A and B are shown apart, each in its own frame.
Chain A
Amino acid sequence: MNNRRFISILLLLLVIFASIRIGTEKLIDIFSPSRNEYFIVYFASVDATRLVPEYRSGKGTIEERLLALQNGPQTAGLVNVLSKGARPLAYEVRGDTLFVSFSKELVLNHPGGSAGELITIYGIVNTLTEIPEIKRVQILVEGRFIETLAGHVSLLQPLERDPTLLGSSLI
């Protein structure tokens, strides 16, 4: 992927700039704004065992992350975490909890199974808890609480990040 090469180059630049920094303070100022122009979105491995990060350019706002989830992975071999046709509709941050509402396709088009459910829920939660201020995510459907997405995990309370599902990064 071009992204990967770009990020490798970026990292290389980072190392170079970091070493130059000892002598000249100014260069880091030029560099630091662009350093935040990438954010992580999680998609699923084909075998449903882990979430794999994909790097996207942008500031990584809630909107950007939700749209990235909706549009799906750019890397072949990764699987969308949202059900087919599911759209994020609305969100609201309350304290450190993000309430995010999806269209009903999230439930209606879900393939079911605890493996599929795991991937969808934590694809959403882990992507959004990449934002430091967000510690928990409450998933809603059309603005309402739902008991579960596919019959195994309770969605009646906000969920915290599950780091055990994270696969290795692309860089």
Chain B
Amino acid sequence: MIRSRCFFYLCSIILILGLAAQNNYAKAFELFIGERSIELESPLMVVNGKILVPLQLISDEFEAITKVDQENNSIEIDIQNDKITMYLGSTDVLYNGKKETLEVSPRQSNDTIMVPLGFIADKLGVNVSLGFSEIQNLDSKETNTDHESPNNERIVYIGGPRSQIFLDVKEYTGYRSTLLTNPDRLVVDILGYEGEPLEETIIDGAIVKSVESTLLDANTLRVFFYFNISTGYEIKNLPEGGLTVDFNYLIDTVGFERINNKPIIWFNASDKPEITEIELVDPQRLVLDLHDSTLLGQAREYEVSDSVVRRLRISQLNSATTRIVLELNSPMVSLHYGFANERLEMVMFEGTSEMAQEYLAKLEMQKQESETIPQDFEVDEYIVSEGTILTDIESEISLLKGRIICIDPGHGGSDPGSIGLQGTYEKDVVLSISLLLGNLLEGAGAKVVYTRDDDSYISIFERPMVAMRHDSEILISIHANGYVGGLVSGTETLYHPKDTLNLILAEAIQTHLIDAIQLPNRGLIQRPDLALLRVSEIPTVLVEVAFITHPKEEQLLKAEGFQLMVAEGIFRGILEFFEILASER
């Protein structure tokens, strides 16, 4: 995977943000123009991350003729064939007579006129950077000692909601498997295998501790999966070779509560297991069997102080099923089941299943034609179908009318962002998604501010500034994710924990986006270190829609239909965010 990201390294102006204030560092830096280190007679000035240098330095280093006109505050810089005119205290600049805008204005400090170095260096195509010319060189006598990989056969922990493990064995004729106890382990015999045992792999996950293997005989590889907790499993042959072993979903805490008087059973799980519901009478009970699930910890039960639910029990029925039992005063069945509030929630109905069905049918009739969201994420399914979107959103338009929303398509210009195996650029797909989202928002009466609406570079510090300068109420940064290996997939939303509004916005968007595109849910992630999230003072999230480094997700990201689904999911998330805001007022 060769990246053409030399832009950062070669062309971008390197900044020090706030570092100049920390004097012990400021002294330590050197300014480089090209490969030359520059003697500085007076210190650099750093404003909003941009370097300003004395005008004198420009004349010395670039052999420029400079002229300051005190009357109209103008600074003229003639370098070779170029003419740059700046104005003290103004971001206006003339470059060969054409008006452009500076990111930071020239200013006077004591008696020295300081000008932004980045703009001038850019126009001259010169690389300017801060760094060190002398730091201790590593004794790299041991470099390039590639660690040996005798063969490609190996055990790879993929993880995910079902703690997937990949056995990368190319040639075999079949397998057999069995669960054993003392210690708890799964044994898989891979038949018709020729080769060495695989290297032991420590996983130390919630389910699997480690995987070891030995040769049972010349043609059989025996693989042991040692467990922290005994659990069901599912083995799949991959057509390209190798096998995957999926373990159960993990079920953690469980509880019952009422939200707006709606009874809700909730639990924390690594993903959404299938549930079978059984109604029992005398005494009245509701049994929920969670398939392919393993309960973490011991069986337990809770007293519930509720008019209908008396008691709630959870236990592991067998290696494949976790069972929740509700002891009831009167019948109760489920209405919906899905992710909400960072957990799985089953919204309940007080009454029998027949009554619940009647209720749902009535709801269905009230609801006008509802659109369908493809559940399977095959690329072909995402066909652009104009006019099917927004049918149930019309009534919500008033919520967005007049709102100012900033959309930030990640990367751009010299920065391609992450690059897929087929050469798809993150900067391109996120721009398409952003423009589609912008259309939806504008259609609902919102005013949209873009940090970029074409293929241009803008720094990560500047992006939140653009949003705030235009009085945006929220900032949505749209990205595609990347990782080595091409195996990781899914959607995540990143936020800064400094303000709960960030979390509310992130949660609303992640939930609706997952609903819309049905990719693996990697959840909400706190990232106080991300420059954009840190600098922004308005509710801000960064959405990593999918992994462009994952072949299937790269395909999706390129597909216009999928881009539209993404835009729609984020749009609904934004809508919910403003709904929550309105309801709290």
Contact with A along B524-540 (1 / 0, CB 8 A): 00110111100000000
Among B198, B204, B527, B530, point to the contact of A168 (Cβ < 8 A).
B204
Q: Residue on B with the closest CB to A97?
A: B25
Interchain CB contact under 8 A, B202 and A152: no
| Complex: A20 Cα to B409 Cα, angstroms | 64
Q: In the complex, what distance in Å separates the CA atom of A75 from the CA atom of B147?
A: 11
Query: With A113-B483, A115-B492 in contact, do A140 and B1 touch (Cβ < 8 Å)?
Result: no
> Could you tell me which residues of chain A, from 1 to 47, have a CB within 8 Å of some CB in chain B?
1, 4, 45-47
Tally of contact residues, A, Cβ under 8 A = 68
B24 interfacial by beta-carbon distance below 8 Å = yes
* One of B80-88, B314-322, B541-549 contacting the partner: B541-549
Whether B19 pairs with A48 at a CB distance below 8 angstroms is no
The verdict on A91 contacting B419 (CB below 8 Å), with A144-B32, A153-B530 known, is no
A74 to B419, CA, bound (A): 28
Interface bits B276-300 vs A (CB < 8 Å: 1, else 0): 0000000000000000000000000
Q: In the complex, A119 Cα to B529 Cα: how many Å?
A: 13
Would B544 and A113 count as touching, CB distance under 8 A? yes
User: Which residues of chain B (126-156) have a CB below 8 Å from chain A?
Assistant: 129-133, 135-140, 142-143, 145-147, 154-156
Contact partners of B65 in chain A: CB under 8 A: none
Given contacts A1-B200, A90-B138, A108-B9, contact A157 B18 (CB under 8 A): yes
Q: Is B302 an interface residue (CB 8 A)?
A: no
Tell me how far the C-beta of A138 lies from the nearest C-beta in chain B, rounded to whole angstroms.
Answer: 8
Q: Please give the distance in Å from A64's CB to the nearest CB on chain B.
A: 10
Given contacts A76-B199, A111-B549, contact A116 B14 (CB under 8 A): no
Binary flags per residue of A75-96, CB closer than 8 Å to B gives 1, else 0: 1110110001001111110110
- Interchain CA distance A142-B202 in the complex, whole Å: 35
Confirm or deny: B484 has a beta carbon within 8 angstroms of a beta carbon on chain A: yes
For the complex formed, measure the closest distance between the CB of A127 and the CB atoms of chain B, giving whole angstroms: 15
Chain B residue numbers with a CB within 8 Å of A104 are 6, 9
B484, A115: Cβ atoms under 8 Å? no
CB under 8 Å from chain B, chain A span 148-168:
148-154, 156-157, 159, 162, 164, 167-168
Given contacts A63-B139, A104-B6, A113-B417, 11 further A-B contacts (CB under 8 A): A90-B136, A92-B136, A112-B549, A113-B547, A115-B492, A140-B131, A146-B9, A149-B8, A153-B530, A154-B531, A157-B17
Residues of A bordering B, CB below 8 Å: 1, 4, 45-49, 52, 63, 66-67, 70-72, 74-77, 79-80, 84, 87-92, 94-95, 99, 101, 104, 107-116, 118-119, 140-154, 156-157, 159, 162, 164, 167-170
24 A-B Cβ contacts within 8 A? A1-B202, A45-B157, A48-B488, A70-B143, A75-B202, A76-B198, A89-B137, A90-B136, A92-B132, A101-B132, A104-B9, A112-B5, A113-B480, A113-B483, A114-B544, A115-B481, A115-B488, A116-B483, A144-B131, A147-B12, A148-B460, A156-B15, A157-B19, A170-B202
